[in-house]
Structure 1
Amino acid sequence: MSLVTEPASPSRIASLDVLRGLALLGLPTMNIIVFAMPSAAYVNPQAWGDGNALNDILFGFFYLFADQKFMGLFTLLFGASMLLLAEQSEVSGRNAASVHYRRTFWLLVIGLMHAWYLWEGDVLQIYAMIALLLYPFRYLNPLTLLVIAACALNVTLYLSHFPDISEATIGADGRYDLKAYFQPDIAQVEEQRAMYLGSHEDTVAAVRGTLATEFTDSEHSADLILAKGGLAMLVKVFGMMCLGMALYKLGVLQGWRTSREYRRLAGICLGIGLPLTGFGLWWNYAQQWNMDAWYAFGMIPQHLGAVFMTVAYAALVLLALRTVLPKSMATALAAVGRMALTNYLMQSLICALLFYGYGLGLYGSLSRLELLPIIVGIWCGQILLSLIWLRYFLQGPVEWLWRTLTYFNLQPMLRRRVG
């Protein structure tokens, strides 16, 4: 890719907001599964439901086109936003490092509160922890950042490989504990139902682990496997943020490249990522979603393919902004993206109130098909709310709080009326 001239600031901010809005609206397509069903349904179509063809079709569609793609895009943009904030801080005469670490600290606090009181699947705290390490990387050139991202991805693949989870290795209790995350039995499903259909106090206490009994040695073996999987996710987030920083430095995410370059980037990445992801889906079905096979290899094609598809999505959207994307749709996506933190937390609140016991208690009662209208409803509601809110206010309420805490003074909120 050849370097191109950098356009004015508003253009690049708009493109980042559109991408962020798309990523944000894509999150509930997968996150809602964890709210509405036993968590194993996220990774295994045979873990929940009646096993009909429609369940498999919907699982396959979202596996191919949503799983890890929108979260990956969200992560890319977080890495890019670190560089953007540093640039803006330096232009305004602020200490860029001080702003970064204050901003990251408060994001960590928000993420911990989100996980502690609402949903244990929070990613903000993970982003904040990685961001605390990443600031010195802003000075690296794009090629170095790409190499680091590639190395991190390879470590992720290594950490996602569990060749032996046999009973001889981790014990009967350890295998039983792993089944809760991949193919729970009736007792494990009922345990999860009781956890999420209780009162708010009971639910948050359960997910915090305060009701857990003492671990046996076998359960510790299973915990080590789960911890290794968690570490794989941390390393992948680190790598995706580095990739986002590299793409920002190359002018890709801001829309500064030529249309021909975006077409080429989308074609290459989609040509690699979609077959890889499709192979992973086929392979797991060929193995009949066997737990040993999935831990040994089954998740690796998705990890790798999703990275390429994430970059392809970014290139396709930026290309569409120049060609076929209606202005009204771009405006709607940008509005959602400008309120990404507010909308992210709102999605958790909406899903908790729909599915948990202290809300409507729909947990475990809806199929994948029945979740689709809820997803569309979240899309429409957040687009409408974002457009209306930003007509009167400069930023979302949580964004306002975050920036106020970061800069230690009240940030402007209301739009000034002219005339």
Structure 2
Amino acid sequence: MNRFGTNASNQISFKERGDAIINLSANERIQIIDIIRGIAILGILFVNMSFYSSSLMAISLQVELWQGFWNKSAELFRNIFIDEKFINIFSFLFGFGMILFKEGAIAKGRRFIPLFSRRLIALFLFGLIHGWFIWYGDILLHYAVLGFFLLLFHKCKPRTLLIWSILLLSLLPIVILMSGNAGMPASSDLSRMGQEAMKHDTAIYGSGSFIAIQNQRFIDWNSTLINQILFYPRILGMFLLGSYFAKRKILHNISGHLRLVKNICKCTGLFGFGLIMLGVFTQYSSNPVIAGWHDFLFVLGMLVGSPLLALFYITFFALLFQKENWKRRLLPFSFVGKMAFTNYIAQSVICTLIFYSYGLGLYGKVGTFAGLWLALGIYILQLIVSRLWLQKYQMGLLEWMAYPHLFTSIPLKIS
């Protein structure tokens, strides 16, 4: 295996967030994948901002924490366009990346399964560190665990991958809707529990000692662990959908699959937004009969509409990228996307320092509207830093640290 910096035409670059990709040369990168990953990092930060600054229990109980027109508008915007969509994109990219990784490994004469398994183990360890000591809402560990299940499908034909993807994505909606527990009913008891949880967590995260924060962080991590396991079928389903796209090479050659990409974009956008908007309509309806359908349609929108909209965003940005004027506008997102692992962890470090008591102690003091602007500001900073970093280095710092056995120094960029 060549070292970085020794041969520009035979370099191996490793990328985290579970979707490590081996590239034969820099100009062979699929730019749209880095761009979509970079956009997804922004969307995930928008969502995570509430969890950085507010009680996990209160959010889980769907307690309204912020009043006012702008906060309500920001929450509605996030519910329609952001929530659940971008984490599905990341899951898609994980599966997509595994196929690229396999193809690259085979082309280099490397053994794919041992090599990919080591990546998953590294991802698992980083996930533990992230979840236990930085922020409880880690997703890396779960991607690593499900990555081993994904390996069972790496030899499957595209059609098989698509069938399994549809089955897995359908499993959770069918189980929940058939059980009759489609949503969480609003009640004064739940509201009171949520308010008490917010006061409790604000006291700990906002003004408590580091030890108290660490104890609560581990409690919240356990809560998210159970919740994430329930969503494993959906995550694995999106992995397989990404693998299907990679094996079909749809995003490798968008112009060659233009009609297919356009049809996917139209259909997923129509049905995805349709399901989401039905949930919104029933939520604000004054008709008790219509409002009674809210829980059912809310779950349908989250579990079916969100994956559809994730696919809509992927194909929509892929189509935009075919236009020269939009290509220039979208390319900056690739800087963040190329350092997705580093930027994902950095967001947790930055935000916990802003909200927790060992930093600025702003926990429980930043509403939804202000949180969106704060997230945008952090992202712009990451975009600038990522661009400056990539002018000198081929990968992000944490991408390099994840595989210390491969490198003796951070690989310089080859001009």
The TM-score with structure 2 as length reference comes to 0.83
73 and 165 in structure 1: CA distance in 2 versus 1, 3 angstrom threshold: closer
Distance of 2:181 and 2:270 partners within structure 1:
32
Q: Which residue of 2 aligns with 1:413?
A: 410
Q: Quick check: 2:282–2:293 contact (8 Å CA) kept in 1?
A: no
Matched, 1:152 2:149: no
Equivalent residue in structure 2 for 1:192, among 197, 201, 219: 201
Q: Quick check: 2:56–2:220 contact (8 Å CA) kept in 1?
A: no
411 and 258 in structure 1: CA distance in 2 versus 1, 3 angstrom threshold: farther
Q: Which one-letter code corresponds to 2:300 in the other structure?
A: I
Aligned with 1:415: secondary structure? coil
Distance of 2:205 and 2:119 partners within structure 1:
32
Deviation at 1:402, TM superposition (A): 1.7
Q: Deviations over 1:39-75 (max 9, x none)?
A: 366567752012x333222111111110111111111
Aligned with 1:258: secondary structure? helix
Equivalent residue in structure 2 for 1:242, among 237, 240, 257: 240
Greater shift in the superposed pair: 8-17 or 118-127: 8-17
Q: Which residue of 1 aligns with 2:384?
A: 384
397 and 229 in structure 1: CA distance in 2 versus 1, 3 angstrom threshold: closer
Deviation at 1:254, TM superposition (A): 2.9
Deviation at 1:107, TM superposition (A): 0.3
Q: Which residue of 1 aligns with 2:124?
A: 108
Q: Which residue of 2 aligns with 1:364?
A: 364
Q: Which residue of 1 aligns with 2:35?
A: 18
160 and 92 in structure 1: CA distance in 2 versus 1, 3 angstrom threshold: same
Q: Which residue of 1 aligns with 2:89?
A: 73
Greater shift in the superposed pair: 334-343 or 299-308: 299-308
Q: Which residue of 2 aligns with 1:273?
A: 272
Aligned with 2:169: secondary structure? helix
Q: Quick check: 1:118–1:349 contact (8 Å CA) kept in 2?
A: yes
Q: Deviations over 1:357-404 (max 9, x none)?
A: 111111111221211321111121111011000001110001011233
- Within a 5 Å distance, the mapping from 1:15-54 to structure 2 comes to 15-39=32-56, 42=59, 47-50=64-67, 52-54=68-70
Q: Which residue of 2 aligns with 1:355?
A: 355
Q: Which residue of 2 aligns with 1:314?
A: 314
Deviation at 1:334, TM superposition (A): 1.3
Q: Which one-letter code corresponds to 2:205 in the other structure?
A: Y
Distance of 1:230 and 1:159 partners within structure 2:
16
Aligned with 1:299: secondary structure? helix
Q: Quick check: 1:73–1:310 contact (8 Å CA) kept in 2?
A: yes
228 and 399 in structure 1: CA distance in 2 versus 1, 3 angstrom threshold: closer
Q: Deviations over 1:249-268 (max 9, x none)?
A: 12223343433332221111
Matched, 1:204 2:214: yes
Aligned with 2:308: secondary structure? helix
Distance of 1:299 and 1:348 partners within structure 2:
28
Matched, 1:251 2:249: yes
- Within a 5 Å distance, the mapping from 1:81-230 to structure 2 comes to 81-161=97-177, 163=180, 179=190, 184-197=193-206, 198-209=208-219, 229-230=227-228
Distance of 2:102 and 2:238 partners within structure 1:
19
Q: Any unmatched runs of 5+ in structure 2? A: 1-24
Aligned with 2:321: secondary structure? helix
Distance of 1:366 and 1:280 partners within structure 2:
27
Identity of aligned pairs, percent? 25
Q: Quick check: 1:195–1:206 contact (8 Å CA) kept in 2?
A: yes
Distance of 2:192 and 2:386 partners within structure 1:
39
Deviation at 1:286, TM superposition (A): 4.1
Q: Deviations over 1:8-62 (max 9, x none)?
A: 9835532211111111121111110111123366567752012x33322211111
Aligned with 1:403: secondary structure? coil
Distance of 1:108 and 1:253 partners within structure 2:
28
Q: Quick check: 2:279–2:294 contact (8 Å CA) kept in 1?
A: no
Q: Which one-letter code corresponds to 1:203 in the other structure?
A: I
Distance of 1:287 and 1:44 partners within structure 2:
22
Aligned residues: 384
Distance of 1:80 and 1:243 partners within structure 2:
8
12 and 311 in structure 1: CA distance in 2 versus 1, 3 angstrom threshold: farther
Distance of 1:240 and 1:300 partners within structure 2:
17
Q: Which one-letter code corresponds to 2:299 in the other structure?
A: M
- Within a 5 Å distance, the mapping from 1:281-360 to structure 2 comes to 281-286=280-285, 298-323=298-323, 325-360=325-360
Q: Which one-letter code corresponds to 1:275 in the other structure?
A: G
Distance of 2:313 and 2:221 partners within structure 1:
42
Aligned with 1:27: secondary structure? helix
417 and 301 in structure 1: CA distance in 2 versus 1, 3 angstrom threshold: closer
254 and 325 in structure 1: CA distance in 2 versus 1, 3 angstrom threshold: farther
Q: Any unmatched runs of 5+ in structure 1? A: 1-7, 167-171, 213-222
Distance of 2:57 and 2:107 partners within structure 1:
47
Q: Which one-letter code corresponds to 1:279 in the other structure?
A: L
Q: Deviations over 1:295-342 (max 9, x none)?
A: 766323221001111111111111111115544433311111110000
